[in-house]
């Protein structure tokens, strides 16, 4: 009798498999961002060996952004129709294969085309992440989940960049691409074998399903989408482009990502050319902004969900760290007014901490988007946000004239301020848009 009572209690206690899913997303994001940033690590040796001039280097840096942005809407459309287990496996495997091939590129054209391929194939990644979190997590845990997996992008940059630099120094720039690509191919196979929707995942009990569903998680979204599946609709695109709330997060994401893409592209050049630092030898000092961003991301998710548990509204709990983080990011302008290396790094670290603090923006996508247009909304959000991947390298290239990088730093600071204002003035009350 006592055993039967204990068994019933165990069945009634929700399992915690959703946190395992969070770890899967974290690892995937680490791989995703290594494949975005590996070019900046290999670029000095690569461009010297292949004889590529700085103008063409800038074009190669921007190649990822062109196709990544262009494929966001088709990618979002696919996310609404193809289960994450299948779509993520295919995208991971294909962009990783393109990454491996970069290790064998022998010309500017090959580099440019392959980087465009990586950008196009990575396009569905973050809409898939949003789709998975909306399926697996109740509202009160969602920002923590998003903050945790988003921190993966800074973990890769902060902790694994020295490993890739060592690989380049020891085995040549080719191995930077080959190693990261092979890791991605292996992970694609693991994702396919392991990932399932909540009701199909081994070990998930009814208590966890109920906890997710009652907390606002869309545990049956795939079944609902399959019943209502239809072709691309311009009317649906019109919906996600006509809502003021959504434009608030679209514009905010462009501004937020502008700071990120400065660090992903021009940051090493800024330190070496304009501040006289040796990026490789500077080691920990140069990695401090990435570590600060990592801390900011973790603080953001936990703080936002803590506010919800304390009884604050979803809108306040989500927007406060985003707005505060964007305002903190404006501090990057302080680097224009100091000369000492530690102070320069301090302002950059503070700004990137703010960028990390603001990085739970995807939590508003999953909260605001119409349920049946979650992928399309996420794709539009990521499309507009990642126009910064094109604009930032090019605009900074024009602004960083002669010996002064100050106009470029000012540009990043002003965009962070505009991003904060877009959340303050445009988003308004946070609630799901009903169709």
Dist CA 154 CA 25 (whole Å): 14
> 222-225: long-range contacts (C-beta < 8 A, 24 or more apart)?
222/83, 222/135, 222/197, 224/371, 224/372, 225/80, 225/81, 225/372
CB 381 within 8 A of CB 80: no
Number of domains in the chain: 1
Residue whose C-alpha is closest to residue 188's, from 17, 24, 21, 23:
24
In a domain, 301, yes or no: yes
Secondary-structure breakdown of the chain: helix, strand, coil percentages, each rounded to the nearest 5: 80, 0, 20
Q: Which residue has the tokens 């691409």?
A: 177
pLDDT (0 to 100) of residue 133: 86
Q: Which domain holds residue 400?
A: 17-223+240-427
In a domain, 7, yes or no: no
Using CB atoms within 10 A of its CB, is residue 244 exposed (0-12), middle (13-18) or buried (19+)? exposed
In a domain, 370, yes or no: yes
In a domain, 204, yes or no: yes
In a domain, 2, yes or no: no
pTM of the predicted structure, to 2 decimals: 0.74
CB 125 within 8 A of CB 32: yes
Q: What is the mean pLDDT of each run of 10 residues along the chain (435 residues)?
A: 43 79 92 83 77 75 85 79 90 94 88 92 88 84 81 77 78 88 95 89 82 76 55 72 87 93 80 72 70 87 84 86 95 92 91 91 80 76 86 82 84 95 86 70
- Residue 134: which residues within 8 A CB-CB, separation 6 or more? 142, 217, 218, 221, 366, 374
pLDDT (0 to 100) of residue 222: 60
Domain containing 124 — which CATH number? 1.20.1250.20
pLDDT (0 to 100) of residue 350: 96
Dist CA 107 CA 112 (whole Å): 9
In a domain, 271, yes or no: yes
pLDDT (0 to 100) of residue 120: 92
In a domain, 234, yes or no: no
Dist CA 329 CA 326 (whole Å): 5
In a domain, 435, yes or no: no
Dist CA 185 CA 173 (whole Å): 19
């Amino acid at each position: 009798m006592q055993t039967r009572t204990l068994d019933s209690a165990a069945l009634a206690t929700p399992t915690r498999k959703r946190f395992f899913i969070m770890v899967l997303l974290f690892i995937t994001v680490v791989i995703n961002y290594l494949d975005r940033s590996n070019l900046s690590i290999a670029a000095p040796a690569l461009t010297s060996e292949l004889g590529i001039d700085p103008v063409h280097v800038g074009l190669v840096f921007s190649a990822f952004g062109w196709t990544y942005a262009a494929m966001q809407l088709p990618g979002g459309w696919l996310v609404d129709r193809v289960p994450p287990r299948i779509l993520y496996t295919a995208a991971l495997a294909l962009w990783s294969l393109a990454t491996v091939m970069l290790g064998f590129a022998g010309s500017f054209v090959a580099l440019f085309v392959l980087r465009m391929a990586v950008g196009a194939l990575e396009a569905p990644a973050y809409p898939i992440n949003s789709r998975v979190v909306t399926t697996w997590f109740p509202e009160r845990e969602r920002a923590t989940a998003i903050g945790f997996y988003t921190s993966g992008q800074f973990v890769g940059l902060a902790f694994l960049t020295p490993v890739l630099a060592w690989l380049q120094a020891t085995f040549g720039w080719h191995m930077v691409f080959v190693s990261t690509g092979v890791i991605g191919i292996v992970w694609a196979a693991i994702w396919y074998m392991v990932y399932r929707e909540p009701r199909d995942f081994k070990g998930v009990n009814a208590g966890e399903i109920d906890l997710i569903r009652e907390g606002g998680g869309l545990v049956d979204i795939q079944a609902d989408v399959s019943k209502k599946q239809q072709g691309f609709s311009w009317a649906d695109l019109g919906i996600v482009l006509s809502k003021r709330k959504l434009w608030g997060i679209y514009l905010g994401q462009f501004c937020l990502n502008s700071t990120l893409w400065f660090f992903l592209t021009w940051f090493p050049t800024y330190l070496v050319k304009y501040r006289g630092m040796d990026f490789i030898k500077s080691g920990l000092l140069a990695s401090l902004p990435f570590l600060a961003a990592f801390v900011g991301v973790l603080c953001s998710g936990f703080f936002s969900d803590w506010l919800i548990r304390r009884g604050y509204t979803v809108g306040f709990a989500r927007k406060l760290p985003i707005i505060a983080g964007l305002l903190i990011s404006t501090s990057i302008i302080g680097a224009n007014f100091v000369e000492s290396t530690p102070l320069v790094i301090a302002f950059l670290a503070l700004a990137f901490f703010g960028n990390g603090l603001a990085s739970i923006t995807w939590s508003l996508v999953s909260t605001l988007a119409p349920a049946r247009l979650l992928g399309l909304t996420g794709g539009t959000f990521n499309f507009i946000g990642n126009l910064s991947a094109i604009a930032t390298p090019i605009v900074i290239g024009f602004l960083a004239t002669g010996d002064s990088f100050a106009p470029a730093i000012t540009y990043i600071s002003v965009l962070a301020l505009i991003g904060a204002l877009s959340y303050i003035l445009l988003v308004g009350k946070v609630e799901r848009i009903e169709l």
